[in-house]
Amino acid sequence: MENNYALVLEEIASKGCLRHIPAIEYREGVQAVLDGQPCLNFSSNDYLALSTNTSLRDAFLQQHGHDAQCLFSSASARLLSGSSQVYGALEAEVAALFGKEACLLFNTGYQCNLGVVSALVGKGDVIFSDKLNHASVVAGMQLSGAAFYRYAHTDYAHLERFLHEHRGKFRRALIISESVFSMDGDVADIDRLIALKKRYDCLLMIDEAHAFGVFGEHLAGCSEGKDVDVITATFGKSLASMGAFCVASRLIIDVLVNKAASFIFSTALPPITVLWTYFLLHEHRAVLYAQREKLLGLCAALGCPTQIIPVLLGESDAAARIARRLCEAHYFVLPIRPPTVPPHTARLRLSLTADMSPAMVRGLLAAVQQLQQEGC
């Protein structure tokens, strides 16, 4: 019986898409040691370069390490005994940051999108989703039981054709888009999406996973101050923490508390993690702003609209080959292959972090060009 699974792996391998967990031995700032080899790390979502900041960590432990609520386990779901004041304090902080009535914490961005989408729509409802939305949104759509239409990436004329043709047949409708797209680094036209959601009476949900902490006057992302009904984001990227959240009206958040299975039936985040996120957001906001300025300065120097730079290579084996050679040249860049990205669009995804210099990025881009010229 188990042999059947060997076939599963063989099939993935035959497409050049077999995944392995990289052997990271050490990680600090822009450096990582991979398989004994020191590398510049272009594969992290630590956009503000805070996840290995030991001064901040030490300050946190000194200040909060002995708090009664600074615990490693919540020991149950929020709706049982796994909640405490620290969760409410972080939720209030995030809701205020986004100018929304309420916020609900989730354990990860994946669980958040899964729970939110599947709770807000169901049978008889409809979802209109950007074709390149994250796997967690797709999983949520499938779980919801709602009908769904995936419009071509950022093609709002295509979205409007779907809305015109199908919106009228369904009760509730949800339009979903990322703001900064995770694999392409391009940005959705939020104003256009808002106009469409109003014209066709839909809720608009924006996943700010890659924009939270980076864009927006108050670091809330690309939809800051805009009429977006439901916003999700993760603390696991810019915020150098763990967990995620949804901000929306009190009514929507109350629906999530009652219907989002990934919230209801899962042990809550450890209180120490919630405290750490609160510490960064509430007590060290100035550090976040300073790091964000560095990151945006780097993007501007390179002429990149966001901190994610895709280098399209086409086929999976080419992407894997070039990534391997880059690793030998001390650059840690992973190949991104289908099904994470559409077929024939395998790529390198360069992820910039605040402590990189333009020279580091240019060095990597030159190395990629060199490899391509050599026919690698």
Ligand X SMILES: Cc1ncc(COP(=O)(O)O)c(C=O)c1O
Q: Is 291 in the site for ligand X (CB under 6 A)?
A: no
Choice between 129 and 182, CB closer to ligand X: 182
CA dist 39 → 43, 54, 309, 332, 372 (Å): 11, 20, 18, 6, 20
The pairing of strands 203-207 and 308-314 is unpaired
Choice between 182 and 345, CB closer to ligand X: 182
210 part of the active site: yes
- Distance CA(274)–CA(241), nearest Å, equals 8
| Binding-site member from 136, 177, 291, 351 for ligand X (CB under 6 A) | 136
Number of amino acids touching ligand X (CB under 6 A): 13
Contact string 9-28 vs ligand X (x = CB under 6 A): --------------------
134 part of the active site: yes
| Binding-site member from 134, 150, 197, 292 for ligand X (CB under 6 A) | 134
| Binding-site member from 118, 144, 223, 234 for ligand X (CB under 6 A) | 234
Contacts of 360 (CB under 8 A, 6+ apart): 30, 40
CB of residue 374 to ligand X, shortest distance in Å: 32
Q: Is 310 in the site for ligand X (CB under 6 A)?
A: no
Tokens coding 5:
């699974």
- Stretches 104-112, 196-204, 211-219, 298-306: which one binds ligand X (CB under 6 A)? 104-112
- Distance CA(183)–CA(337), nearest Å, equals 10
- Distance CA(127)–CA(150), nearest Å, equals 8
Tokens coding 262:
């990934």
Q: Annotated catalytic residue: which of 136, 182, 241, 316?
A: 182
* DSSP letter string, 94-133: HHHHHT-SEEEEESSHHHHHHHHHHHH--TT-EEEEETT-
- Residues near ligand X (CB under 6 A): 108-110, 113, 134, 136, 178, 182, 207, 209, 234, 236, 244
Residues recognised as catalytic: 45, 134, 178, 182, 207, 210, 237
